[in-house]
């Protein structure tokens, strides 16, 4: 099954939101996963709250390290953070979205990050819906 693989440093906010939104809206036959270069202990409460606000319960999910094998077989790899932090095998195949880190945004404006990710995920879904996917591997 073709996979969109979202990565960031902590895998606790941006990549978790992207994974959740993609899986909620995924075209038939697609799935999403995520990982972090330095995964934290838990998904950020702010991310969980922002997802719950739009009807997605993501409470059972945990941050995960980047899985180079999953990234290598993913149809799309999207870095939400700087590509410089990615392992070499991932850095060469990743696209870069450069979504702001929530720690750099006032707490009352983190919803803007969710909305930016949502728009990018919708655009990605429109793009892949136009071109039938093929899983690598």
* Distance from C-alpha of 89 to C-alpha of 111, rounded to nearest angstrom: 32
pTM score, whole prediction: 0.91
With respect to residue 137, please indicate whether it lies within any of the assigned structural domains. no
**Number of domains the chain contains:** 1
Q: CATH number, domain at 62?
A: 3.40.50.2300
Task: Read off the pLDDT of residues 90-106 as tens digits, 9 standing for 90 and up.
Answer: 777 888 998 888 888 89
Quick check: is 24 catalytic? no
Tell me, yes or no, whether 136 lies in a domain. no
Domain that holds residue 48: 3-130
Catalytic hit among 86, 117, 118, 128: 86
Q: Within a domain: residue 135?
A: no
3, 4, 7, 8: the active-site residue:
8
Q: Is 8 a catalytic residue?
A: yes
Could you tell me if residue 26 is inside a domain?
yes
Confirm whether 28 is domain-assigned.
Answer: yes
**Which residues, at least 6 apart from 67, have a Cβ–Cβ distance to it below 8 Å?**
33, 35
Q: Provide the pLDDT confidence category of residue 112 given band limits of 50, 70 and 90.
A: very high
The active-site residue out of 4, 81, 94, 117 is: 81
Coil, strand or helix at 82:
coil
Q: Known catalytic residue: 86?
A: yes
Q: Which of 1-5, 74-78, 82-86 has the lowest mean pLDDT?
A: 82-86
Give, in order, the Cα–Cα distances in Å from 39 to each of 2, 9, 16, 94.
Answer: 24, 7, 11, 18
Q: Look at residue 36 and tell me if it is in a domain.
A: yes
């Amino acid at each position: 099954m073709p996979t969109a693989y979202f990565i960031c440093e902590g895998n606790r906010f941006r990549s978790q939101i992207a994974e959740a939104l993609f899986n909620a809206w995924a075209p038939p036959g697609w799935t999403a996963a995520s990982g972090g270069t330095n995964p934290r202990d838990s998904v950020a409460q702010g991310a969980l709250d922002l997802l719950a606000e739009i009807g997605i319960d993501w409470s059972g999910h945990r941050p995960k390290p980047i899985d180079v094998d999953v990234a290598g077989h993913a149809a799309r790899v999207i870095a939400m953070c700087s590509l410089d932090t990615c392992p070499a095998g991932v850095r060469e195949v990743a696209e870069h979205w450069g979504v702001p880190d929530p720690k750099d945004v006032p707490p009352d404006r983190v919803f803007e990050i969710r909305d930016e990710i949502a728009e990018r995920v919708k655009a990605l879904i429109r793009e892949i819906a136009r071109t039938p996917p093929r899983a690598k591997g």
